[in-house]
Each structure stands twice: as structure tokens, then as C-alpha cells.
Amino acid sequence: MQDLMDRHWHHLPEAEVADFLDADAERGLDRLEAEERQRRFGPNALTPRKGRGPLLRFLDQFNQALVYVLLAAILVKLALGGYVDAGVIFGVVLLNAIIGFVQESKAASALDALSRSLTTEATVVRAGERRRVDARELVPGDLVQLASGDKVPADLRLLRVRNLRVDESALTGESVAVEKRAAVLDHDTTLADRANMAYSSTFVTFGTASGLVTATGDNTEVGRISELIAGASPLETPLTRQIGQFSRLLLYGILALAALTFMIGLLHGESWVDMFMAAVALAVAMIPEGLPAVLTVTLAIGVARMARRHAIIRRLPAVETLGSTTVICSDKTGTLTRNEMTVQRLWVPDDEYALSGVGYAPEGELTADGARVELDARPALAELLRAGLLCNDSGLREDGGLWRIDGDPTEGALLTAAAKAGLDAAAEHGRAPRLDAIPFESEHQYMASLHDGTSPMVYLKGSVEALLSRCDSALAQDGTVVSLDPEEVRVRVEALAAQGLRVLAFARVDGGGRSAIDHPDLASGLTFLGLQGMIDPPRVEAVRAVAACRRAGISVKMITGDHALTAAAIAAQIGLGERTGQRALPAALTGRELAELHDDDLIDAAAETAVFARVTPEQKLRLVEAIQARGAVVAMTGDGVNDAPALRRADIGLAMGLAGTEVAKEASDMVLTDDNFATIEAAVEEGRGVFDNLTKFITWILPTNAGQGLVILVAVLLAQPLPVLPVQALWINMTTAVLLGLTLAFEPKEPGLMDRPPRPPGSPILDAVLLQRILLVGLMLLAGAFGLFEWALSQGASVEQARTVAVNVFAVGQSFYLLNCRSLRWSMFRIGVFSNPWVWAGIAAMAAVQLAFTYLPIMNRLFHTAPISAGYWVAVLAVGLAIYAVMGLEKRLRPRGAG
């Protein structure tokens, strides 16, 4: 029966569909047959992508170049009997792995909880009985009933349809609900036009229907798109790429220096064993053991901050990736817009009105030429709004402070417009109770309703073409009936459509003496009332967020399945330009036009165009790849199934937690739990702050490693005793990284962070200015540590005391330099001396452990140190103050943009 899943169900008559599925279109499957098919076809659910188990996820934390170096160092130390040193290094590596594993597990658990909270039930007929079941239990051949508000549980071939409209925006990107019918369609009918099919993960907005399940789980259209996701390989993030490159360069440099140290010592006549130990000491001293841990902790802090702002980070580097983003590709419906149709313009002969407010909340103002309008003085306008209110099968209600519609979004917009203007729905229905109605049908393109009361009336709403041909008069502004000018109406329709508005026409005819109506009754003699133009408006917060992103130098592009005119109108409202290059392109490129472009032309179009409309899922994926082809770091936002492949392929995918489909969430790197596009602005800022703090840490820690390595290298060159032993170098690296370096992860974001352009994708982590600072501080640490080591020996100090002085030079020098690194542009007095109290706590803790390192007997035995007098401390503090003063002066002399 598996071969049946590939049939063109929309092209088959109902009887053949039932026959092929071996199903009963009246009574449904019997219980035993349903159970047997459940065993054959499995649950009606997408097969989850096989994720990595806990062990693999834990081992993956070790898959970093720096960690490989540390693991090699552990093996060397174990081979040479350095069990304490090996244990300390392994402890650092293990701590880093545990932090990363726990953080990723927390994110996965949060998303799993979100997924479990969203369950779907279906109404199914089995053995002639109607029942509600878990949608996972559906099988091909089941007879399913749909009603307004239902989520379609599987792909269905519709058999009986009553005024059914389905919101397919999650699948096709179409913002307006699609009317369905049961008629057989042509074989080559496209997915978006298959009116006799209802697809899994779409939503019924109006009407009822029944249909037979034709596909479940992976065989549905949603399942087909899910396969696209699996085929779109994820990329490394900018951070992981650059840390990987940086680690490899560092590794090569350390190995080269270690080899150089070894060879120089041999040339001086030293034993190869001593020189091998010196080379190991240099390697251990120069490896920044704290870098992987601080990288993970800094990203984890970013995750915690984003969680407080309604975002779940599914992969740690995603926090930083947002900070490097150069292009944001956003879906329109539900992401940039509210996914709530809103009437914005009303027109009656010789007059036009604007209606403020967005969404379904009945809050807004009716104006003409900027002046507020009262309905009492505008009978024609009141009748236009009354027609939209009464010729309507939907309902508007308040639920927990939010206004929702029961039924079709278009009709909901008409109800809201009437309420904004002051019409009371209950009162209007009370004065004009409905006697009969003709539902909307695509053949006739209108709906009509007959109402009783003091002035019985038939109201109609529908397409402009359908109603104009039936009208021979119009209602003037003062309420009198005048002759109709069809050309005037068409001009206004074109003007409204040019603004991206969907236009509905309204008419009426006297209903006196009627108890029922039919199409022949409405063939002519109608009075034209006017037009209502509506649109799915932009989110107010999205407009601000897009503006902020563009100020930050980030290009924003809209990629939607909706119509080009609508997409262009929304783009204009949120501030997206028609094009960003010099090539003459239309305001919106359509999917049809994209399909005709070769790869090179597509890359040009993707770079130069801001709006893409009527785009298929495959084209969204291709567009993201085209934008990436020029080196852009791409973030893709979206909530629909049709967004998922591009979410997966983008450098970072952002899915909506409330309106987003499970497929989109699974494909994303970050889930916005409040569906607020404005959170993206905060996320970009947070990501930039994370990268800033990581850069500060690297700029701060490398001089210690460089200084220690240079001290050992100079000592070997001069055939002098090592000023710093391997275990002492390890002590410096561990204590300074944990007690001092980690405090930079808590540094607040600097002012003006979002006024900077994005970091160029190919730019190094450290620019020339920062490398000069690192070299300068490293040389000062070298001079201070080696100089005071030799000075202490000349003053009669023991080698242990001299080494203790040298180690304290690194600890104190790094404490002062930490204050410089709180900002790479400004003095700490500019950003706030106590704006990061963790810095001062870390410095105090560092002072305490160094005193223990210097004076406690057990520490003296473990680390080969000895107590020193106060005079040595004065010299050590002088070196620290000199570093702070020189680096502060360097920042003042450089332009503020440098570094």
C-alpha cells in the first residue's frame, strides 16, 4: 500500500480515492483495520532526526584544537612522571567539557518541554462513530472531520466541504486563508492551488469538511520538506571557525618555539633531558589552558541573558553568531507582520477614510483627511461598515486581554473595523436578525445575507468584479442613492491594491417581503456601498527592530511566499529599500523570476534585492546559499514549515516558539519563546557583547602566555636557570584564568555597541592594534619577571625566592592589565569603575591565593616557592602600575575606533 502515497490524489474522483485507500467514505475504518494499519505505517509523526546520545555529546566537547594540545601535554607529563601537573591540566579540560555538556543539555531539555506542551488531537470517524483521538494514531484511509480552529492532522483528500477555508501560511507562505472545495483538479495543479486537499500542519479558519487521510508522518508534504532539512548541512559558526584557526596557529607557534628552545639548549651543551623538560615547560606556559573554559562560560552567560529575554539557545555558539550577522533573512507572515488582517482604508463614492490601529483589538480611530469622523454624520460610511459586520460568519472575542477571532481572518478584520468605528455587533444583529445567507463560493465570488428588521436588507461582500456587475446605483455620502460610476470604483481599487491592500467590495438590495435568497435574486439591481482595503500589518516592534539592525550595518531581507505587491507594501512600511545595489531590479523578485536565474545571476540578485515574493521552500534554501556565497553571515528568521530548510542552512536559524511549527524549531539554533521579532535586536546586541568579552579575554590572557614563554626562551638563550618552572607556569595560567579572566565574561555591554558595523566575516579575532598591545604587555612582563628574577638573585635571594618574585610579577601584572582590558577603547573610569564588581572580587581573590602561594609551607613544597620580603612586593607592584599606566596612555593616544 506504500505505493499509494505517491498518487496525485487531487486528480482522482472521490470514489477512486476511497477505493485506492480501501476505505469507507461514510463509516470510516473499523477498529481492527485501524490498529492493523497503525502497525504497518507507524505513528502519524515525523521521524525525529537521530540525535547524538549523551556520551557523544560529551565527547564532542573535547573536539577542539586547543583541547587536543592540552591532552597531548597530559600524555607528555604522565610519561615524565608529572602526575600533579597532568592532573591539573586534565581537571581544566574536564571542567570545560562538563560546562558545555550541561549547558547544551539544558537547552535541549527546555526545547523538549516546549515541544511536549504542544499536542494535536483529531476528530475521526471509525466504524460509524465520531471520536477524538491523538493525531499520532491516524492512518491512511481514516475518515477525518475538520472544523474551524482545527490543525489539520495529516494530508487529506477532501470529500465533503462546507465553506471551508484553510490557513496554509505555515506551508506556502500565503497570508490569506485559502478556500477549499471537493472538485477534481488537473493533474499538474501546483501545491498552493490544490483546493481539494488539506495538508498536515495547516489550520482551518472557517467552515467544516471531511476527508480521507492520504498520507501520514514522513509521507506528508511537511515530511517532504523535513527531508530537505536533513539534506541541508549545518555550517560552523564564525566563532568556532576563528577559534579553530587561532588554535591551529597557536599550536604551530608553540611547537616551533619549543623545538627552537630544545635545539638552542643542545647547542649550548645542555643535556637533552633538561632541554626536553624546558621545551615542555615552554609549551605548558604558552598554552592558554583557560581559553576553552572561558569561551564556554562566556557563551553560557550569553545564553542565560537571552533566556531572561524569552529566547532558548539550542547551540552555544549561536549567541556569538548573532553578533557577527551581516544579513538577516526574514519571513513575512507572522514574523515581520502580526498575522492578523487589519482594515486600513475605506472608500465610499466621493470619499475615502483611514482607520488606525492594528490587529483584532477594536482600538483605533476613523479619520478623513486627518480629522476624526463620527458615523452619525456619515450614513454611507456607516452602511459600508454595517454590511461588513452583518454579512459575516465569524466572531470576535476577548481572551485573557487578547482579542481573537473565531473564523476567517478577513471577516475578523471587518468585525474589528466596525467595532473601531463604534458599531455594536450585538445591537446590530438584534436590530437586523439574519433570516438566510448564501455562503461564499469561488464560482460566484461573493457572500450574501438576508436580514429582517424595520428595514429588511440583503447585504453582500465579495470581489469587486462580482459585485460591480450586479450594481446599477451607489449610495452617496449623504445616504442618497445615485448613479454608479464603475470606472471611478476601478480607479480606487487600483490605488488601494498598489498599497498592497486586499480589497473587498460591498453592496445591498432591499430585502422586503423575502424569507430566503438565492443567486438569481441578486443578479442585478444592487446598490454599491463601497470598498474596504485590508492588510496583514507589520509588527510595531518589528519596524523598530529592523531600523536598529540597519543602523548596526545589518542588511535585512524579506523572503516570503506571499504576493509580490503585498510583500513590497509591507517592506515599504518596515523600511526595507526596493534594492540595495545599483542594478535596476523590481521592488520584489518573485519565485518565477528567481527560477529563471542562473547561479551567478542569483548571487547578484540575492545581494542587491531586499524583497523576494512567491518563493518556494527550495528557493528559500537556494537564496540563503546565494547570500552566503559572498561571505555573508546569514541569520534566518521564521515560524513556518516552509522556513525550515533555510533555517537549517543559515549560519543561525531563529524560530518562533508560539506560532512556530515543530519542524522550524527543530531546524533552528535559537527559539524566540515570545515570537517577538524585536528580540532579534537584543540578541544581536547580546552576541556582539559576547564577542567583545571574548576578545577582551584573549587580549588579556595571551600576554601572560607570551611573557612566560619568552622568559623561558631568554633563560635558555642566556644559559640561565628557568625563572618559572612548569608547575609554576601552570599555577599562573590556572589561577589568573579562573580568578581574573572569567570576570571579563560578566563585563556589561559597552555604550554604542549597536552603532558599530558588523565585524567583516573574514576578519581575524585580533587585529593589528590588539596584537601590538599583546606584544607590548608580553615584553613588559618579560622585562619585569626576568629583570626582577635576576635582581633578586643579585640581592642574595635563593632561586626559590627569585622564582616566587617572577611568578608574582605575572600575577600582579595581569591584575593591573585586567583593568585595562575591561574596555578595549575606553578607560575604566569612562565605563564605570564598579560597573563590574566581579573584577574587584577576582583581584582580591587573586591577591589572597598569591599570598598563600608565597607564604604557606605546603604551597612552598608543592610549587617550589619561598617567602619574600616587603621590598620585593614594592618592586612587583611597580611593574603592575607601569603596565596599567603605559596601556592607559596607549588607549588615549590611539583613535577611538582602533582596537
Q: Which residues have a catalytic role annotated? A: 331
Query: Cβ contacts of residue 661 below 8 Å, gap of 6+?
Result: 170, 201, 222, 639, 640, 641, 644
User: Which one, of 287, 289, 290, lies nearest residue 712 by Cα?
Assistant: 287
User: Which one, of 411, 405, 457, 395, lies nearest residue 431 by Cα?
Assistant: 457
Query: Cβ contacts of residue 469 below 8 Å, gap of 6+?
Result: none
> SS3 of 826, please?
coil
Torsional sign, CA 331, 333, 334, 337: positive
Question: What does the DSSP 8-state code read for residue 354?
Answer: E
> Considering just the CA atoms, what is the radius of gyration of the chain in Å?
35
User: Which one, of 853, 873, 890, lies nearest residue 773 by Cα?
Assistant: 890
Amino acid at 301: I
Residue 786 sits at the vertex; the CA angle it makes with 780 and 792, to the nearest 5 degrees, is 125
Q: Which residue has the cell 598554552?
A: 287
Q: Are 330 and 637 in contact (CB under 8 A)?
A: yes
CA 710 to chain centre: 45
Q: Which residues of 638-653 are buried (b: 16+ CB within 10 A; e: fewer)?
A: bbbbbbbbbbbbbbbb
Cα 537 to Cα 530: distance, rounded to the nearest angstrom:
22
Half-sphere exposure of 840 (CA within 13 A, CB side): 7
Cell of 392: 459575516
User: Given its phi and psi angles, is residue 239 left (phi above 0), alpha (psi -120 to 50 degrees) or beta?
Assistant: alpha
Q: Are 672 and 655 in contact (CB under 8 A)?
A: yes
Largest CA distance in the chain: 121
Strands 471-475 and 121-126: unpaired
Give phi and psi for 472, each to the nearest 5: -125, 5
Strands 311-313 and 670-672: antiparallel
Cα 855 to Cα 138: distance, rounded to the nearest angstrom:
74
Cα 86 to Cα 71: distance, rounded to the nearest angstrom:
9
